[in-house]
Structure formats: structure tokens, C-alpha cells
Structure 1
Amino acid sequence: MSSNPMTMARSAPIAIASRKSRPEQLSSANGSMSSSTSNDSSLTNTRTRKDRPCDACRRRKSRCVINEGQPSCVLCQFHSQDCTFVQSPQPRKRKLNTEGKEESVAKRRSPGAEERRRRPTDSSISSNGVTGSLIEEMANIGGPTLLKRTLGLQNDRYSQYIGPTTDFEPSLIDLSPFDPQDESLLSRGTLRKVSDQDTFLMLPDYTTPGHAHQEEDVDAIENIVAPYGPALLDLYFRIIHPNFPILQKNVFLEKYNRSHREFSPPILAAVYILAMNWWDHSGELANQPKPDIRELERLARASLADAMYRPKLSTVQAGLLLSQRPEGDQWAPTAQLVAIGQELGLHLDCSNWKIPPWERGLRKRLAWALYMQDKWGSLVHGRPSHIFASNWAVLPPTAADFPDAEFDSSDGEESAEYEHGRLLFTQMIVLSQILAEVLDTFYTLQAMANVSQAGASGTHLVLQLAKPVQLKLKEWFAALPACLRMDAASAGLHEQKLCSTGFLHLAYFATEITLHRRIIRSLSPVPNQAPTLDPYILHICRSAAKTRLISAMDFVNRLTSSHLRSFWYFASKTNFALIGTFGSLLWATAPGREEADWYRRRLGEYRWTLGVSCKGSERLTEFAMGMLDTSTGLLKALPEKPTLSRPNSESDIAGSRQQRTLAEGYGYGIGGSGFSIGPPRNGGQNGDSGDNEDMLRSGLASPTSSVSSSGGGSMAGYEVQGYAVQNGY
């Protein structure tokens, strides 16, 4: 990045002490020394204060800081306890260095050396009253580190955003004396001011439930995957991270190279669990037995529940990664993650905060990943969203928010991969914002009530609301970078080269389908009752919906193993299912037997595609096939539909000029601005040209100029929304 975070001075966190020892334990331990300390307390205190920590700091293994002229250390002042130097030092366990040799006493006594092997370097003492030289000394423990001055990734403190209505009055916070590190020690914790408007309360980890087991849990996680931890990390950062960049790779690897104990247990477990989905893609791992993933998942769930009591950025990261598992997309954990994100201030604009530049970029990426999790979770679970525009101040991510130090710029292939991932992530954010507009406009309780209250005018209301959203979707697709289009993504791919572009296009079709499901539902608001809408509007709406279904099915038919074996976003398995659900809806609402039979055949072909073409990626398609079987099973109870006579000419269904004007005003019309349909290519799949002929004869397709393209599925020749199928569909 343009600025070097390693040059920033790191704050000295709040003092952390162990809980007070019981009086009888202190009495027993100190009894043999009482007489000598009473006679020589002054000399002893002066000598020991210079050479070693007080008894409380020793028990906690914390840095003991005594300001000049003060009778006790900062930690003991904070806890209002006696600062004593009477206990004998505990026997030290000899630490081995990376070469297996015992470290020297001098090295172990260097500032924070032992603590660094047990926890990250940005922990240990309160900054209140500490001199600048000591702050600088503490900031440089262990040499340069990317963790200096971090807000959301300290290992022994967590942060709580101080909102405008809490018992902290924002107007009074500025009266507190802040040191040069923008921290102020209070009785409840340490205030950390990151901007003129935003302040956090920093609190110690050790008081939270489960903290005592954290080291034990992270050791157990590492032991399960040992000795394959580094190989799994390589898989994660090679396959998952470029397309879902919610970690800071260089920070993560810096910590891992020192010790796995520097991680919160759930984030380490989540990275391993997700990477194990590509176990066979590593030459080092392919022939080795897989670790016990069930035990990893158990530890991840248990430790994540504990971590929520001391939330950090790693807590949100772990939750989001665990949600990407095939069975991990549950709604309740998403609600918890949103709450934790708000606790950490992820909903705020951090562009000018006094934190390392890399953390500002990480926070923005993590915030938008949380936004996407909420919106797509709302769609696939049918639940109200938890994030509202009125309380969302995060700016759109820019290229500067993505770490450019994570890859070798001289490696053109790696640079292109990370640039592809950046564009994929940012385009998914924009699409998620359009999805949010669809959900807010059509699927809130109030929005659905408004359409119901409109009665016979409900469809017109829906079409009016749909037009601007439809235009945004059209513009979004037209503006996709060339490297993200399916035809470009497929060009030159080989079996070993994975491409995650598929989940973005599938999400696009899911958004289109979600919009058109609402339009189709509005056509016949009363079950088992014929629509009262004008026949031309009815026909044109159903034709538009049909083209979306055709394109979505053809997209799935064109997916290759390079797409299917890559990283897929958590909503993808449901998005595959939504295509079948939409086809079932159109089948159920078809006015005649011929059209219903057409959808029946198409759904049969779609299930075959899911089952055969997606072989080897069952985790993606099994759910969709199960839902399709459920939907089509329910459709067997449909009453027999009438046989409709086919129109003699397009003019029979063209409607009056007033009707055509009304339809085109909504963005719909045959050959109009909303969508146009061209003829099929290659006569369809499996020689089934009769269906295409049926569409032409019934007015669902118009005999315009041919669209040329190679390969494809049964309905691959249609032009939808002004973009040609040959561009990827």
C-alpha cells in the first residue's frame, strides 16, 4: 500500500491483571518473608521495582509499569490494590527457540519476548501516563509488525463502539485527558478515540467467558490438522481468498509464522475447514488422509460462541467463513454477526480513522461482506434484513482498499488473479445493493400490503416499481468488466485452472428471478382464479419471465468443471434451486396445457443438467435437485389445464396501441426496450425443435435475425434484455 503501517507507533493497551488471590494464599506465601520486608521494605521496593514486576503483574505475566514518583504500578492503581514485591519468582519453564535450543535468560527478559510467544505483540500495559520513550519501546517489540496500533485485532483487548445514546455522553468524552496515543484510562476501561466523532471502549479479554480455554482450543485445532496446516493455508489463499478477500493475508501469515497461538480459535478453524473442500487440489495433500473435520467444526462452533463475548474483526471473519460451508448458511448466526459488526463499528465510515491503513481497507471489505451476507441471507431464508441504508455509512470500496502487498507484481498471472478477484468482489457488492432494493421494494410486509390493497391495479403498481430496478440490473450487466463475462472466463480455461465467476452470474439470475416472481404473483392475486389483467399485459409479463428462465437454465448448462469446482458464494446452492422454483411457478400459473407441458419438459431437462453436468459438485446441486423434486411433486395436484387454441398471427396478441404503449412504458414489449427475443440456434437440445417452433407460433418468440454462437443448451439462442446469448448465455 502507499503508506507503510509498520512505521506507525503502536498504542500501549489497558493494563490487565489476574484476579485477586485469596488472602490465605497470600498470607501463606508471604509468611517467611514478612520480617525482612518490614525492616528493609524501602530498599527492597526500590531495587525490585527496577528489576522485576510486582506480585500481581508477575501472576498475570504482564509488563509492570511504574510512573516516576508513583508509589505503585499502573495496573495496581487501576484495580485499587496493593502493589507488593514480596512473593518469590515462580520457576520458569525453559522456552525453546525455533531451532530447538533453549533461549537465553537475557532474551526471555527482553520486553515482551515471552509474551510474544503466547499472544500478539500489541498487548500488555496501559498507556495512561506512560512516557513516550516507553511507548516507542513497546511499539517495537519483536521488530516491525503490521499489528501496531490496530483497533480490531488486539489479542488481549476487544473494542466496543460508543454509540450516541449510551450512558457515555459523547459531549463529555472530549473532556477526558487523551494521551498521544489517543487513549484515556477510565474506571470501566480505556477510551480509544479514532476520529473526532468516533470513540471505542477497550476492555480486557481475560474477564470474558471461555478466555481461559482459548490457548487450549487453538492448540487442539492446530493438532487436528498437523502437519498440514501450512498446506491448507496455501490452498485457502490460492483458491478462496482472491475471490472472497475478508482476511489480510500478510497480517495473517505474519502471525502464523510466529505462532498459531496468536489466533483466535474460530478463525483458524474456519480457514482450515473451508480449505479442506479443495484437499484434492494440493499435490501435498491429495494422497493423505483428511483430518477430522467434524471435530474441527465442533471446536469452531464452541470457540466462536465464546469469542462473541470479546468480539473482534476475527470473530466476524470466522462467522462469515463458516457460513460459506454447504450447511453453514443459517439465519440466526447471520443476525449475531450483524450485531457483532455494529459492536465493532463496521457500519461506520472508517476512511479517516487513526488506525493502520491496512485495517481501514480490511474493515471496509469486511463490512461489505457482512452486508452481502445479510442481504443474500434475507433472500434465501425469506427473512427481514437487519441492515438498513439509514444506518449504513460505509463507502464503496476502492482499489486502495484491497491490499496490493499480497502478491508479487512481477508475476503477471498472480496479479491478474487478484485483480479478477477484486473486480468480482466489488461487482458482487453492487449487485447485492440492487438485490436489497428488490427486497425492500417488493418483499417487505408493507410493500406486499400495498400491492394487496391496490386490488386490480396491483400488477400496474408492481410494474411501475419494477421498471427502475430492471434498468439498474440491465446497466449492471452491460457494465461488467470483460474479464468477468462468462465467455471471457471460459476462454482458455483448463481443468486445473479454477474460475469463480459463475457465482456472480448465478446471483444475477437469482436477482432477476426474484423480481419477476413478484410480477408473476401479481398477475393472479387470488388463487385458482383467472387474472383480470388485460390479456396483452398478461402475455408480455409472462413472456419476459420465460426469457429469464430460459437464460438462467442455459447458463447452468454451460458451466464447466473449472467453474463448478471453484469457490461458490454461500447463497449459490439456493440460487440454483430458485431457478427450478421459478420454473415451477410459471408451470403452475400457465393458462393452458401446452405451456404447462413446455415448463414440465424444461424442468426435467434442468434436473438432468444438475444431476449429470454438475457431477463432482454435488454439494452445490443436491439441494436444488431436492427442492425441484418437492416443487414438481406438489404440481401433480394441479387441476387439468384447458387446451388453448393458438393465435393465427402476432396481431391477435399484439393488443391495442394504448396497451402496447402502457406495456412499453413499464419497459416491456416485443422487440421493445425491456426485452427482445430472437430465434433459437442449432434447433435446440436433443433435437427438440418443436418447442422452439411452438414459441414462434404462439408469439413468445419473434422471427428476428439469427444469433450465432457455438455450443449451448436447449434455449441458448434467445436474446434477453438486449444482450446476446453469445456473450455467455
Structure 2
Amino acid sequence: MRKYMSKRQRPCDHCRSRKTACRIDHAPPCRACALSGKECTFLQEAPPRKRPEGQDSIASDMTTARGTQSPEDAGLDSETAYVDLFSNQLHGHEDGVQQMLYHGSDGLGAGLNMDMDVSGYPFMPNMSPFGSQEAHMSVPNPEPEPGPGPGPGPVATGDSPLQTIDQMEDGSPQVIGLSSDMDPFLLHRYNADESGFFHFKQLSIQSVQSQPYPVQFLTSKPALVAKTREDAADGALPDAQLRMELEAVVSASTGRRLLSLFHAYIEPQYPIFSTEAAPDPGSSPVHLLAAAYAVAFPFSIYDDQLCIDLAYDTPPFAALSRLINLSLRPDLHSPTISEAQTLVLMLIRPFANPLVAEAPYKGSLMGSLAAVAITLGLHLDASSWNIPSWQVALRKRLSFVIYCLDKWIAASLGRPRQLRDDDWVVTSLDTSDRYGTDLTDEEWDHLLFTSRITAILDSALSRLFSLRASQEIARDSTYAPPIVESLLQSFSNVAGTLPQSHGTLDTVSHLSYHYVRLLIVRSISRPPIASQAGQQLHAGDNNALGGNTTGILRSITCDFVDFIRRIKTDATPVFWPPWCPTVISTLCFTLLSAVVTSQSQQEAAEWLSLLQTTRRELRLKATTLSVLRLGLLRIDAIFWRGLENVLCLEPHVKTAVQESLAR
């Protein structure tokens, strides 16, 4: 019997056309041609067999391998020939089985249900029944597994497509740390595509950096986070509903004007957006828009239209806060850059009541911001990442802003820093980080000055105000003075870069300058504390700084008070950072501390006079500048109760206080 597709025993033309078996007993004609009276011919050539996809490449590789085999492998030719002969003989039987399965309705295939849905079983390859050749071909797999290749997965470089990890629509990236269970050095050996991706069913590994250590992001599909969000009772309301509610509170046209005010008055200090992806009422997340509106509302009087439209309306802070919470909380399960930006805006937003410091709330927000920032890899330097330049610059500016906020919030609230320098790379800015902004030279200089003064503040917090440093200062009176001297010496370089253009940003720069100087000297000019052994701990030592600690403190506080005197009441367009109210209070209580630690009645009277001058200046300006009201309230409360009733005073200090109040 000759099969119609056999190459060694070709069927006749008639049987081939009918695709039937050609049976020849001894010589042609075959049985079918003899019964039908047809001429049994063998003129037509057999059509080429269709190769499954990928087989040509395999055959080509095998041919190449044979052509390049070494002489030692020549002995395998006979074995290869035997295998070829055996496979050729099996070939005919395979054709019969295929015909029964796919062509014969009454064959073996009639008893098999080949419509089984295996889409939910990713471990099952795309196979034909009985493991035919199709099961062994190279077929596309939407969920590849890690390959055993020895080389590292490629990171997109050169002309490779740039990745947009901060603008993904179908996933949220989170950085994979160096101590993670998924070792980044092992992940770097994954067979990533030219964009640095390696895809699984619900997850993707994305490589963005290879040197000096690999950096990858784990990107999760939204469906993977939905269940976790549901279990945490953080179900998100439909975005359309939230946008309708936001539109009812702040119309899109009003929102655009508020965003313009934000760009003019707040963004020069906090450049957390890019011109490539600026907030837009029609597309930005609801929580981001609501937070930006809340920060910009106090400046609505400087807009020609909003000053009239909102003249009789109270800023809708409560409604905006509600929308922020409804929109932000579910997104914290899979944060993006937008969530980090929103938390920054919530942290810098001035509160409706300027007489409340809101220290617990600010501390909690800073903790959430630090956690989200690290999840997004903002503690890393993205300069060498293969992402668009504007994203690199935006990430670095946002990292810098978060770093600065951590230091200033910690100092002003008396809290430990949450970000450590050995785990946070971007602590300053350079010229390339200006990309994607339209900041003026003056505004950029302000940011550079902020970078320098924040570095000094961080050093002071670490070396003078950390718990371990405070223990050393208590045990050893010679510990702090050298540190204070070196920190004050660093101000000689910073003072030369202090902005002098008398613009609104200069006010904030000068305030930060005076505050950090005051904070440093205050560490060695504190009232004494008597221990059980009779020792005095934390005692102010006038001999600490060349025998003139008191003189240096007086010079610094006088400069600070003079700065407050020179603040103009028309400086209301200034956006005051969240640490400013407690900074004013720090000045007042430092002066009060100097009164208590005075060594003579005359010295106490001089310090008390300076304190009273400060109170008068604050009282004159507090009505217009609400940022001054918290410090004034706290120091006034001491005088309201009476200094003698609140503080334990030395006799000469008590006399000076009584004489001062009697005038």
C-alpha cells in the first residue's frame, strides 16, 4: 500500500488527487485505477511538505552544526543516518494518525473532545494531540519563564526604546532593594527584552540600571492589587464620580487658574512637577488636583478673576481634604509618582488654624511620604537610568524636595530624621536637574542655597541633636564645642551665596539661614540640669567657644530679631514652608533660655529686653503675617502665667524680671 503523501513509494496521480491509498499488487495499474478504468500514471511531482513554523530554522541549525563538526564527531554520522532512516519509516504511520485525527469524522478524533479550554493553565504548552511536532516548535509564549542563559539580561541602551516607568497605564512599579528576596544581581541575568523588561503572567521585572549595582522595578498588574485593596476596605470610588465631585467643588476653569497660581508662588520652592507632565484638571489624579488646589487657594487674591469670584467664599478645604482621602488611600496600595507628589503637597499645605502646629499629623505624613518615596526608588539617583531626561530631572528634584522636607520637619518638630544619608543618594541639585522646568535664575539660586543650608542642618541634627550625640554632650563638656565651631565655620561659605535680590524667595532663604545658626549655638547654651549626684548636665559653658559663647549667641539672636523687624507686611505673596511657624517660636524660647541662664542681673536684663523687643515686633506683624502667630502665642502664654510662676529662677534673674515688668 502506498500512502498518497509517501515519497519513497509514490502513489499514482489518480490516488494522490483523491488522497486515498494506492494499492499495487506487483505492477501498475493500482486497484483503484483498474476498477475505475483510469490510466495509472506517475507524472505529477509530489508537492513539498509544509513545515511547521520554526522547523526551517532548526533544520538550518542542524545543517550548520554538521558542516562545522570536528573530526572527533565524524563517527556519529552512522548513528545519525540510522536515526534518519528510523524517523522516515515512522513518517508514514504518523500521516495516518494525523488523517484519522483531523480529517476523518469517524476516526479516532471522533472520540476525543479537543475543545478543552486550557487558557487558565499557563503551564500547559500549545500542543497538538499526542505531542506532535507542534509541541516542540518555538511558539510565542506570552508569559516567558526565566531562561538558563549565562549572560545578564540586556538593559536598554543606545537606540533602544526609552522606558517610562513613571507613566505606566497597566501597572505600578516598586523598586527591588539590594537585600530583597529576589536578588537584583540574579535578576540582572534574566533574558530581558531590549527595553529591559521580563514579563510574567501578572508581574514584570524591569531593569533600569546595571552599574555600579543593578536596579530593577517589580511592576504588578492592577488586578493583582485589587484583592488586597478590597481586603483592606480601601475600595476606590469610580474615577468619574470623584471627578464630578471635584468639579462641583472647584470648576475646571477655576482649577486651571489655581494651578497657575501654584506654578507662580509655590513651585519655585517645591519644583515637584515637570513641564512635560504638568497637572491638568482633565487628566491628573483627583487627589493630586485637590491637593494642589488646597495649597494654591490662599493666593487666589492675586488672580484678577479669582479675587472677585471667590471674594465671598470660604476656601473649601474640608471638601478638598475629603476628596484627597477618598482618592489617595486606595492608590497607596500601588503608588506612583503622583501619590508622592500629593503627599508633598499635603505636607506643605498651610493649615486653616495658624495657632496649631499639627506635629503628630505632619510626622505621620512625613512617614507616609518617606515610605512611598522609597517604594518608588526616589532614594536612588536616576541619572544613569535609561529613561527620558525629563523623568530623570523630575525624579531628582522630587527626591531633593523630600530629603529637605525630612530635615526641616524633623528640626522644627523635634523629631528624629526618617531619611538617612547612607540610604538616600540625592541630597543636592545640579544644573541638569533644571530640565523640565521654567525656573528663573533667581529661583534656581534659591534652590541651590536651600541645598547648602540643608546640608549644614542635617549635619547639626546628626552631630548635636541625635540621641547618641546628646548622651555624649551630657557626659563630656568638651564634645560639642569643636563641632559647633566647625559648623559655624561652614557658614562663612554659605553666607556668600545668601540671595540678596530682596525678592519674596529671599525672605525664606534668610529665615532658614538665621534659624540654622541659632539652632547650632543653642546646643551649647542650654540651662543646667542637676543630676542625682549633684552634677550639672547640659550646662551652658561660656568658655566653650573661645570664652565668648554668650557673645556669639547674642550676635546671632540680634541678627534674627533684626530680620523680623525688616520683614515687610507686603511680603504676603511669600509661600511660607511648613517649618516656619515653629522657627519663630524657637527664637522666642532661645531668648527666654538665655534669660534663665544669665550669670548676672545685668545680663538677664539685657536678654529680657531683647525678648520684649521680639514680642513687640511679632505683635505688630502677626495680624498680616499669620506665620508669626504661633511663636507669639506660645511666648505670650509664658508671660500670661508669669515668669516666676512658670520657671525656677535664680535670685538675680528674678530681680531683673521684676524690675523689667515694673516699668
Q: Using structure 2 for the length normalisation, give the TM-score.
A: 0.67
Look up the match of 1:615.
623
C-alpha separation between the residues in 2 aligned to 1:452 and 1:634?
30
Q: 1:627 aligns to what? A: 634
CA distance in 2, matches of 1:286, 1:377: 32
Q: Which residue number in structure 1 is paired with residue 507 of structure 2?
A: 502
SS at match of 1:384: coil
How far 1:509 moved relative to its partner? 1.4
1:524: which partner in 2? Answer: 528
Seen in structure 2, the aligned counterparts of structure 1 residues 560 and 350 have a Cα distance that, compared at 3 Å, is same
Q: CA deviation at 1:351?
A: 0.6
2:365 aligned with 1:333: yes
1:581 aligns with 2:607: no
2:418 corresponds to 1:386: yes
- The alignment status of 1:234 with 2:289, answered yes or no, reads no
Could you tell me which residue of structure 2 aligns to residue 420 of structure 1?
Answer: 442
The residue identity in structure 2 corresponding to 1:183 is F
Quick check: 1:556–1:609 contact (8 Å CA) kept in 2?
Answer: yes
The residue aligned with 2:604 is 596
How far does residue 275 in structure 1 lie from its aligned partner after superposition?
Answer: 0.8
Q: Which of 454, 464, 473 does residue 451 from structure 1 map onto? A: 473
Q: Does 1:402 align with 2:468?
A: no
Is 1:489 the counterpart of 2:502? The answer is yes
User: Is the Cα contact below 8 Å between 1:155 and 1:262 reproduced in 2?
Assistant: no
Give the match's secondary structure for 1:310: coil
Say yes or no: does 1:246 pair with 2:272: yes
Question: Residue 500 of structure 1 contacts residue 568 of structure 1 at CA under 8 Å; is this kept in 2?
Answer: no
Out of 170, 174, 178, the position equivalent to 1:160 is 174
Instruction: Determine the C-alpha separation between the residues in 2 that align with 1:355 and 1:219.
Output: 34
From the superposition, tell whether residues 418 and 562 of structure 1 become closer, same or farther in structure 2 (CA, over 3 Å).
farther
The one-letter code sitting in structure 2 at the alignment partner of 1:277 is P
Corresponding residue for residue 185 of structure 1: 199
Q: Which is further off, 312-321 or 205-214? A: 205-214
Q: Deviation digits for residues 579-623 of structure 1, max 9, x if unmatched?
A: 1111111112112233223333322222222222243221x1221
Change (3 A) 1:535 1:220: closer
Greater Rg by CA: 2
Instruction: Note if contact 2:380-2:424 (Cα within 8 Å) is conserved in structure 1.
Output: yes
Whole-Å Cα distance in 2 between the matches of residues 303 and 81 of structure 1? 40
| Aligned twin of 1:321 | 345
**Structure 1 stretch displaced more, 300-309 or 380-389:** 300-309
Secondary structure at the aligned position of 2:395 is classed as helix
Distance in 2 between residues matched to 1:533 and 1:239, nearest whole Å: 42
The answer (yes or no) to whether the contact 2:202–2:221 under 8 Å persists in 1 is no
The CA deviation at 1:127 is 8.9
Asked if the contact 1:561–1:614 (Cα under 8 Å) also holds between the matched residues in 2, the reply is no
Check if 1:297 corresponds to 2:321.
Answer: yes
CA deviation map 1:214-235 (0-9, x unaligned): 4432432233111411111111
Gap regions ≥5 residues in structure 1: 1-41, 43-70, 84-125, 130-146, 408-416, 491-498, 645-690, 692-729
The amino acid that maps onto 2:407 is K
Distance in 2, Cα, partners of 1:218 & 1:628: 45
Amino acid aligned to 2:264: R
Output the CA distance in 1 between the equivalents of 2:396 and 2:535: 49
Number of residue pairs aligned between Structure 1 and Structure 2: 481
Give the corresponding residue for 1:462. Answer: 480
- Whole-Å separation in 2 of the counterparts to 1:609 and 1:78: 75
Matches of 1:535 and 1:232 in 2, distance apart?
52
Structure 1's 394 and 288: CA in aligned 2 closer, same or farther, altered over 3 A?
same
Asked whether the equivalents of residues 219 and 261 of structure 1 are also in contact (C-alpha less than 8 Å), the reply is no
- Distance between the aligned counterparts of 2:443 and 2:388, measured in 1? 23
Instruction: Give the aligned residue type for 1:368.
Output: F
* 2:222 partner letter: D
**2:334 & 2:394 partners in 1: Cα distance?**
19
**Counterpart-to-counterpart distance in 2, 1:294 and 1:81:** 54
Counterpart CA distance in 1 for 2:540 and 2:593 is 18
The CA distance in 1 between the partners of 2:624 and 2:442, in whole Å, is: 25
Cα distance between partner residues in 2 of 1:441 and 1:275: 37
Q: Distance in 1 between matches of 2:334 and 2:249?
A: 25
Check the 8 A contact 2:446/2:509 in 1, yes or no: yes
| Structure 2: distance between partners of 1:193 and 1:582 | 51
| 1:49-448 paired onto structure 2 within 5 Å | 149-196=163-210, 197-206=214-223, 207-208=225-226, 209=229, 210-226=235-251, 227-252=253-278, 256=280, 260-289=281-310, 290=313, 292-327=316-351, 330-394=362-426, 396-403=428-435, 406-407=437-438, 418-448=440-470
Higher relative contact order, chain-length normalized (CA < 8 Å, sep 6+):
1
Does 2:573 align with 1:557? no
CA displacement at 1:161 relative to structure 2: 0.4
Render the CA deviation track for 1:511-545: whole Å, top value 9, x for unaligned.
11111111102x73438998988765586111111
CA contact (8 A) 1:304 1:319 kept: no
Indicate the larger mover: 435-444 or 285-294: 285-294
SS state of the match for residue 489, structure 1? coil
Identity %: 21
1:417-446 deviation digits (Å, cap 9, x = unpaired): 622121112211221111111011011111
- Closer/same/farther in 2, CA of residues 537 and 377 from structure 1, 3 Å limit: closer
Structure 1: distance between partners of 2:492 and 2:374: 33
> Structure 2 regions of 5+ residues with no counterpart?
1-101, 103-115, 127-140, 145-160, 230-234, 352-357, 654-659
Aligned mates of 1:505, 1:156 — CA distance in 2:
46
Residues 211 and 157 (structure 1 numbering): CA distance in 2 closer, same or farther, change over 3 Å? farther
- 1:589/1:533 Cα in 2 relative to 1: closer, same or farther (>3 Å)? closer
* CA positional deviation for 1:80: 8.6
Pair 80,422 (structure 1): closer, same or farther in 2 beyond 3 Å: farther
For residue 232 of structure 1, give the secondary structure of its aligned residue in structure 2. Answer: helix
Change (3 A) 1:535 1:201: closer
Q: What per-residue deviation string (whole Å, max 9, x for no partner) do you get for residues 198-222 of structure 1? A: 1001113353433453443243223
The change in CA–CA distance for 1:586 and 1:535 in structure 2 (over 3 A counts) is closer
* Whole-angstrom distance in 2 between the partners of 1:78 and 1:560: 72
Higher mean alpha-carbon deviation, 586-595 vs 345-354, is at 586-595
* Deviation at residue 573 of structure 1 after TM alignment: 1.2
Distance 1:553 1:187, change over 3 A: same
The C-alpha deviation readout for 1:363-394, integer Å capped at 9, x for no partner, is: 11100111111111111221111111211222
Structure-1 separation of matches of 2:514 and 2:142: 53
Kept after mapping to 2: 8 A contact 1:580/1:606: yes
8 Å CA contact retained: 1:591, 1:641: no
Secondary structure of 2:366 counterpart: helix
TM superposition shift of 1:128: 7.0
Deviates more, 1:594-603 or 1:203-212: 203-212
Letter in 2 for 1:437: S
What SS does structure 1 have at the residue aligned with 2:472?
Answer: helix
Partner of 2:79: none
**Residues 1:154 and 1:221: Cα distance change in structure 2 (over 3 Å):** farther
**Residue in 1 aligned with 2:25?**
none
AA aligned opposite 2:250: V
1:375, 1:385 within 8 Å by CA — same for their partners in 2? yes
In the alignment, residue 217 of structure 1 is paired with which amino acid?
A: L
> Is contact 1:593–1:641 with CA below 8 Å preserved after alignment?
no
- For residue 237 of structure 1, give the secondary structure of its aligned residue in structure 2: helix
The match for 2:27 is none
Local SS of the residue matching 1:194: strand
